[in-house]
A and B are shown apart, each in its own frame.
Chain A
Amino acid sequence: MTSPTPPPWHVTDALALRYAEGAAAETDAWSLEKHVESCSPCAGRVSAAVRAGAAGPALAAVRAELLASVGHRPAPAAAPAPARHPLGRGARIWWAAGPALRGSWVVAVALVLGGAFALAYGAGFQGARSWLLAASPVLPLGGVAVSYGRHADPLYEITAATPSGGLRLLLTRTAAVLAVCVPLLTAGGALLPPVAGFPGAAAWLLPGLALTLATLALGSFVGCRAAAATLAGGWLLAVTGPLLGQPGAGTGGAAVLTRYFSGLVAQGSWAAAALACAALLVLRRRSFDHLETR
């Protein structure tokens, strides 16, 4: 469209004004119309003159009407709608957390932690840290139990008919439970007075992970609530049974707990158990969006 050499002639301001007013001679108007096809500076000058002239308001009205008729909405109203997600970022994390983080489970975790601190600093009880360590691995199980399933989730009947309502939702909610448990309980354990010759505050992490994965794997057979109850009960028996056998010893439990938590063999066994449970869960991944039989 652009000619290699620019035309020698250009539209003068006076001609543009005469053209806008409709007062230009016919030949001048022709020349101008031909010229603005290939010369954008002149086209802009003529357009500006026309818009500023008597035809300006009429042109503006026609433009507005045309845009309205083709469904063009004014920019300010259209701008925010597509950009905004229905939920804010915080709300989306909140929703993904599921019922556990909105319910009594969070209160239970806070109570256990608060109780340990009250015992340690209020009553001067030396074994608070070992008690917290013993209780820590089962707290996530409670969270899993109240996160997923017909008995725990009011939305279950609706989620059961959705593509993401199975393992994906369960894992999301388990991750949320762990995201609350891990920092709270580890930091809590670290802040309590240390017990001599006793495993560190992070010692519960692998047992906690292994028991959580075991709950999910067992839950694929019997449901999460029954699985969590079985494993939590088993753990508490294994830990408290020997403790109750030797009453009166404030730090006597340390020996028992050391057996479960300390050393490469114990932690290695927990890691192996966690891997085995994860592998079983992968094999059983389809069982959570199975159809319900009763």
Chain B
Amino acid sequence: MNQPATVAVTGLTVRHRRTVALDALDLSLSPGIHGLLGPNGAGKTSLIRVLATVAAPASGRVELLGGDVGSHGERTGIRRRLGYLPQEFGYYPAFTVREFVAYVAWLKEVPADRAGAAVERAVERVGLTDRIDARMKTLSGGMVRRAGIAQAIVNEPELLLLDEPTAGLDPEQRVDFRALLRELGTEATVVVSTHLVEDVAAACTDVALIESGVLAFRGTTAELAALGGESADSDDSTTNAIERGYTAALRAHRDRRTGGPAGRRVKESQR
């Protein structure tokens, strides 16, 4: 944790019309794989879209890769070094996988002489090489998602944002995907939004738990597991421990919120 922060968010507030999606959120992330956990509607996608420089915050400061997202010039530089897999994304059905990924490479200003090799490498890393010249409309849901991951990594991003990347993947593909995540996480800052605790257990080094737009827990995966306490069951898995930790952290957070307005920060009380 002594590396410089690649993501520094302070006082981030996001509103959707009249509801508050994120409420004065502070978060700082360094290279590694960060799991973004939380119940549905907690604000995970709102946070990812702000980090992807797609949505504007109502207030707060967002610094990515050393640049300020609010400044036009710095934002362009950030976007070249960014990878983003939206939770739901469209595509041109008649494009092949190669064309789809190459199109995004063009939009991300990957130099033309490197684009061809970069596209093939990205597609190979998600295991779609045998379908690289198949049209997008002929792909299954899991393959479309893998093509989506390929477009996100085609520019070798330093900040990679994946919103529900394992949705629609079968168990074997999930295992492959987590291996790819660990590989990517050695160099880049990877933020994975998920509601699957097992994704976090298998691949993530850090966890940020969001509930109702507020950070409810922040720590390593092991710390979250420890929060669940010891299990009476001797052959208990890590996933179960993290699931219990997740529930315990949420419950503690809700207790603090209902107990008083001071329950924003969790970290102090949890130590």
Within 8 A of A (CB), among B93-108: 94-95, 98-99, 101-108
A294–B50 Cα distance when bound, in Å, is 12
Pick the contact of A86: B57, B69, B119 (CB < 8 A). B119
Secondary structure at chain A's binding surface: helix, strand, loop or mixed?
loop
Contact B89 A158 (CB under 8 A): yes
Q: A162 at the A/B interface (Cβ < 8 Å)?
A: yes
Contact B16 A294 (CB under 8 A): yes
Contact A290 B56 (CB under 8 A): yes
Question: Which residues on B sit within 8 Å (CB–CB) of A8?
Answer: none
Pick the contact of A294: B17, B107, B112 (CB < 8 A). B17
Question: Which residues on A sit within 8 Å (CB–CB) of B16?
Answer: 294
Contact B99 A86 (CB under 8 A): yes
Contact A95 B52 (CB under 8 A): no
Decide yes or no: A155 and B90 within 8 Å by CB, A164-B109, A292-B56 being known contacts.
yes
Decide yes or no: A102 and B107 within 8 Å by CB, A91-B99, A161-B53, A291-B55 being known contacts.
no
Contact with B along A76-109 (1 / 0, CB 8 A): 0000011011110001000100010010000000
Contact A289 B72 (CB under 8 A): yes
Contact with A along B53-91 (1 / 0, CB 8 A): 111110000000000010010011101101010101111
Decide yes or no: A164 and B55 within 8 Å by CB, A86-B99, A102-B92, A158-B86 being known contacts.
no
User: Nearest CB to that of A84 among chain B residues?
Assistant: B116
Contact A158 B55 (CB under 8 A): no
Question: Which residues on B sit within 8 Å (CB–CB) of A286?
Answer: 72
Decide yes or no: A164 and B90 within 8 Å by CB, A86-B116, A86-B119, A290-B56 being known contacts.
no
A85–B120 Cα distance when bound, in Å, is 11
User: Nearest CB to that of A157 among chain B residues?
Assistant: B86
Within 8 A of B (CB), among A242-294: 286, 289-294
Decide yes or no: A157 and B112 within 8 Å by CB, A86-B119, A289-B72, A292-B54 being known contacts.
no
Q: A160 at the A/B interface (Cβ < 8 Å)?
A: yes
Contact with B along A142-168 (1 / 0, CB 8 A): 000000000001111111111111000
Q: A11 at the A/B interface (Cβ < 8 Å)?
A: no
Contact B91 A95 (CB under 8 A): no
Decide yes or no: A162 and B79 within 8 Å by CB, A84-B116, A169-B107 being known contacts.
yes
Closest CB in chain B relative to A246 CB, distance in Å: 46
Contact A163 B107 (CB under 8 A): yes
Contact A161 B79 (CB under 8 A): yes
Decide yes or no: A154 and B119 within 8 Å by CB, A163-B79, A292-B56 being known contacts.
no
Q: B115 at the A/B interface (Cβ < 8 Å)?
A: yes
Question: Which residues on A sit within 8 Å (CB–CB) of B179?
Answer: none
Contact A163 B116 (CB under 8 A): no
Contact B116 A102 (CB under 8 A): no
Closest CB in chain B relative to A71 CB, distance in Å: 16
A91–B77 Cα distance when bound, in Å, is 28
Q: B117 at the A/B interface (Cβ < 8 Å)?
A: yes
Contact B102 A87 (CB under 8 A): yes
A133–B104 Cα distance when bound, in Å, is 38
Question: Which residues on B sit within 8 Å (CB–CB) of A291?
Answer: 53-57, 69
A156–B103 Cα distance when bound, in Å, is 12
Question: Which residues on A sit within 8 Å (CB–CB) of B108?
Answer: 162-164
Question: Which residues on B sit within 8 Å (CB–CB) of A156?
Answer: 90
A158, A159, A164, A291: which has the most chain B beta carbons within 10 Å? A158
Q: B151 at the A/B interface (Cβ < 8 Å)?
A: yes
Could you name 28 residue pairs across A and B whose Cβ atoms are closer than 8 Å?
A85-B112, A86-B116, A86-B120, A87-B98, A95-B103, A95-B106, A154-B89, A157-B88, A157-B90, A158-B89, A161-B54, A161-B82, A161-B84, A162-B104, A163-B79, A163-B107, A163-B108, A164-B107, A164-B108, A164-B109, A165-B79, A290-B56, A291-B53, A291-B56, A291-B69, A294-B16, A294-B17, A294-B55
- A residues near B (Cβ < 8 Å) are 81-82, 84-87, 91, 95, 99, 102, 153-165, 169, 286, 289-294
